[in-house]
Chains A and B, each alone.
Chain A
């Protein structure tokens, strides 16, 4: 009998390194980036492995240059990515807007850090609006995948390339300092062969065919409107087909916690403890932040008595949740900012406090529905 591997192929991997290696194994052909904490191990891993494998690695002079190098390589039809953190993503927004309109596939990893401004390097989720609403000027949305473990970081990185190519779109893998810096046992995917063919739209030289042009410039109003309509049709297809989420203990829940990524997993600890104390509470964890899981939220909002949104921000996803529940139930919010990670006990306190107020009649005032409790401790 073959010996049984007790680890089932698992290795102890740091999030940043795991993402880098997963991308390589997904057939990444080129990486361009600029160092920024807390994602730098990702770039460092690329700097060693990509040249070893005969693939392209280049440390760019800025995030501005990095995203435009990514844009160029994507125009050549190869699998390409970059990674950064909030300040760098801000610099990339120009390029991202061009890429969105040009419809070339790219994968961007954002390991979020405290902001605004230079902020700090601790984990936050305060790039939610930046990534999900429109990571640049003009009308567009990118697919945003939010891992809550190192294994998911690996799996979503591989998925990101497939989705990017399927829809010719930008896909973000949105982690935070915790996901990037944490080590967990995880299983890497097998090494895929690097694709040798190029899509027919790629810029490979007009040999034996009409020339290909990749641009985001459309001077006529009607022609640009038709481009926008095409982009929006694609985004609607993504909304219909690519929603991903996890539900935990929602069947009988009176209280629904909505949290993603790092706060999603921290909330699980709080929810299990609340259950032990007899509170019927469950979790909706959006995995795609865009497209947001509005349909399951709609269903759950018909059954639960209150919703608690927990984020490492002053309240960004909570706006989507409020939008999605049609005012049926009060939506409360608990957030930590500045790179402070909420501890399970803090979330538990919020759940217990809410559980004690479920029978109170709603006051009818709007603020009941937008209960903000940003901690200022």
Chain B
């Protein structure tokens, strides 16, 4: 008998991602995190009621890459804009996607207050320790001694203070329900990231309050490293200062499982 060969789809682009190339640099992990978010939105079946709020920074064109309704916020103001979108249509799923300059510097007030109010939105915080879009200047999360275009002798913490640990800080706020830090530098951390994205969306779907996933993410171009070296740099340099883990898992979130 002749053997039957049937082609099976084992992998495809998530429906929540648009069929367009991104502008991200080769080896940058923005694209990977986009994919994880898109997969989770598909799996949860929420694409048709999800609204993305893009930041100012490398992911400014995020709405072009997702097959979702999307808005572009002013620099740092995405949590406020998401608040407006969500408060008038609580049945929708609203997420922001913000870099370290957007969230931890210029948008500090907006993120702290969204968390404080327990705003029922989901925030994806991409920490790559650098200002990518403007060409590699010092970020609020740049590491001590890190050479950037605006700290050419290395970040001098005597002058600028120490890098800020957002997940730890936001976890302290009573309004925050789910705050975790993840990375994407190897298969294990990528899988854990996806799980966290899923939990964060489920928190919002249950009306359980503010959820945030911080990702340690790479920037090969501005770090001056190859993509592979960049992943190693996350592991060797960022993880020790920004430990991965669950900083806030409120009881209401534990009950979801």
Contacts and interface: CB of A to CB of B under 8 A. Distances in A.
Interface of A: 29-30, 32, 56, 58, 60-62, 64-66, 68-76, 78, 80, 94-95, 98, 102, 203-208, 211-217
Nearest to B78: A68
Interface residues of B, number: 35
A69 B80 contact: yes
Interface of B: 47-51, 53-54, 60-61, 63-64, 66-74, 77, 80-89, 92, 109-110, 113
A62 B109 contact: yes
Given A30-B88, A205-B51, A215-B63, A72 B80 contact: yes
Given A76-B89, A205-B51, A69 B71 contact: no
Nearest to B89: A76
Contact of A32 (B60, B73, B84): B84
A211 B83 contact: no
Given A30-B87, A78-B88, A94-B74, A69 B69 contact: no
Given A64-B110, A212-B70, 17 more contacts: A30-B87, A61-B110, A65-B77, A71-B74, A71-B81, A72-B71, A72-B81, A72-B82, A72-B84, A72-B85, A204-B92, A205-B49, A205-B68, A206-B67, A211-B70, A212-B69, A213-B71
Given A74-B84, A205-B92, A68 B110 contact: yes
10 contacts: A60-B80, A72-B84, A102-B71, A206-B69, A207-B49, A208-B48, A213-B63, A213-B69, A213-B70, A213-B71
Contacts, number: 128
Contact of A69 (B47, B54, B70, B83): B83
Q: Which 7 A-B pairs have the closest CB atoms?
A: A72-B84, A68-B80, A207-B48, A215-B72, A73-B84, A69-B84, A72-B81
A205 B87 contact: no
A68 B81 contact: yes
Given A32-B84, A76-B88, A68 B71 contact: no
A214 B71 CA distance: 5
B57 to A, nearest CB: 12
Contacts of A213: 63-64, 69-72
Contacts of B77: 64-65, 68, 71, 94-95
Nearest to B23: A219
A260 B51 CA distance: 43
Contacts of B113: 60-61, 65
A107 to B, nearest CB: 14
Counting chain B CB atoms within 10 Å of each CB, the highest count among A61, A206, A212, A216 belongs to: A206
Contacts of B64: 213
A94 B75 CA distance: 9
A80 B88 contact: yes
Contacts of B63: 211, 213, 215
Given A94-B74, A205-B49, A70 B69 contact: no
A29 B66 CA distance: 29
A215 B71 contact: yes
A216 B61 CA distance: 11
Contact of B84 (A61, A75, A212): A75
Contacts of A214: 70-72
Given A68-B74, A95-B77, A217-B60, A76 B84 contact: yes
